[in-house]
Amino acid sequence: MIPFVRKMLRYTGIGLLLILVWSTLSGWIRRRRAAARYREDARDPFRRWTQGVFGIVSGTVDYADLSTGQARAVLARWWHVHGPRELQAVLHDLGDASAPDTAWSLVRYVVVTRLGIGAGWLDRDEAWAMVRPIARRLQRGYDGWVALGHAYVVARRAAQGLATDGSEDDAGMRAILDHISVLRDSLWNEVGFQTRFAEEEPPA
């Protein structure tokens, strides 16, 4: 092999190694930042409560901290959302105040707001504000965390055409059940489902 080719291959190998190292390092940094933000959000009662809602779907991963490309890919695959206008249309449908307040619609509303942040189409503070009335609707509709989780599981099985007894659960359903099991032993024990949040006025 001529020296020039050997040199090019050596440099190419070094370049690929540097790309791999940088990709690994940047992923590690992003995960560390995401974990730190999750812990910071957990200090606020309302945000901690909201983690108990989107955690049904994503566990301890906040989709707001996915990379832009990852969040947009999930929105496109799950929701056929390819831009901010489509995102707002989906949120409008899920949060429709004229429709019954169901776990299936309102939990997914919260999840989609987190994806919207990750995609760069929602501001973080704006998204928290959007979720606040949804939280109150969930609190009015269910008497506790377990009831909310059960309602979501039942609805997802129905939406996916899965057996109600769980015998046909797919990987996504099993992940959700795992998330709920962890939540029942942790966050759901720490935060009361009917917690009233600071900005709210007492009921009339």
Structure confidence at residue 203 (pLDDT): 42
| pLDDT, tens only, 73-103 | 999 999 999 999 999 999 999 999 999 999 9
Residue recorded with tokens 């992003």: 30
Structure confidence at residue 7 (pLDDT): 52
CB contact at 8 A, 62 and 51: yes
Percentage of the chain lying above the pLDDT 70 cut: 81
| pLDDT, tens only, 115-141 | 999 999 999 999 999 999 999 999 999
Cβ-based neighbours of 107, under 8 Å, separated by 6 or more: 53, 54, 56, 57, 138, 148, 152
Structure confidence at residue 197 (pLDDT): 86
Q: What is the mean pLDDT of the chain?
A: 88
Structure confidence at residue 168 (pLDDT): 97
Structure confidence at residue 17 (pLDDT): 46
CB contact at 8 A, 41 and 47: yes
Question: Given pLDDT bands bounded at 50, 70 and 90, which one contains residue 201?
Answer: very low
Question: Can you give the C-alpha Rg of the chain in angstroms?
Answer: 21
Rounded to an integer, what distance in angstroms lies between the CA atom of residue 59 and that of residue 187? 11
CB contact at 8 A, 109 and 134: yes
| pLDDT, tens only, 41-51 | 999 999 999 99
Cβ-based neighbours of 197, under 8 Å, separated by 6 or more: 45, 46, 49, 132, 135
Please compute the mean of the pLDDT values over residues 20-45 and round it to a whole number: 71
Considering all CA atoms of the chain, what is the largest pairwise distance in Å, rounded to the nearest integer?
86
More confident residue, 13 or 106: 106
Rounded to an integer, what distance in angstroms lies between the CA atom of residue 33 and that of residue 171? 28
